[in-house]
A = this chain, B = another copy of it.
Amino acid sequence: MTKPLIPTITAFRTSPDRGRGLARDMRVRWALEEVGQPYDVRLLSFSEMKESAHRRLHPFGQIPTYEEGDLALFESGAIVLHIAERHAGLLSDDANARARAIAWMFAALNTVETPIVERSMATLLERDKSWYGDRLAMLDQRVCARLSELSDRLGDNEWLDGAFSAADLLMVTVLRRLDGSGLVERYPNVSAYVARGEARPAYKRAFDAQLAVFTANASPG
């Protein structure tokens, strides 16, 4: 038996969300907490993220990354899948259920998150443009189309497909990016689903860990 390796992830030293758990390291922290795997964190400033040392780990200069022995990964979805494949608790042992959970992982990041990120980018980059109000209405419509479809499929189920899985973990973090928009609240079963995710002890430990980083490193005032 070789000694188990403690993975190292990267995260923002001062997250732009001010510790609300919306940065993508939250997904990886939550997955590691669900499976009970301890981890180390290396914090990066915005300029360090764009330096060549970090770009060797992440070609697009973002967080999180994941290092474990001689393996280095980037992309939060891939890292969560890697953790889920190597530990019990985030993917079913049944091959078909596992494949369906992976389909929902891709759906969370590609089909549901895409219009949500487009909306976030508009609120960040286009707030001062003359077209902002008109575009935001269009984007809200596109986000709500996805939320409505998700709500229809979810129905009264607790999770997306049977037991809690890595798919729910990603979907909940994606939906949380709409915090403050009031859009998720239009779909009570989706809103309750997000709350169920946030109530998990592993979620809370991950949330507290990322908030502690922000609190320790933010300039006062």
Which positions in A face B, CB cutoff 8 Å? Answer: 55, 59-62, 70-79, 81-82, 96, 99-100, 102-107, 109-111, 113-114, 117-118, 121, 125-126, 129-131, 134-135, 138, 146, 149-150, 152-153
Contacts and interface: CB of A to CB of B under 8 A. Distances in A.
A74 B153 CA distance: 14
Contacts of A138: 125
A77 B75 CA distance: 14
Contact of A59 (B74, B121, B152): B152
Pick the 3 closest A-B CB pairs, nearest first: A131-B131, A75-B106, A78-B103
Number of copies: 2
A102 B131 contact: no
Given A75-B110, A109-B110, A110-B110, A81 B59 contact: no
Nearest to A118: B118
A114 B111 contact: no
B99 A73 contact: yes
Contact of A75 (B72, B75, B103): B103
Contacts of A114: 114, 117-118
Contacts of A129: 131, 134
A45 to B, nearest CB: 19
Nearest to A138: B125
Nearest to A134: B129
A60 B109 contact: no
Contacts of A130: 130-131
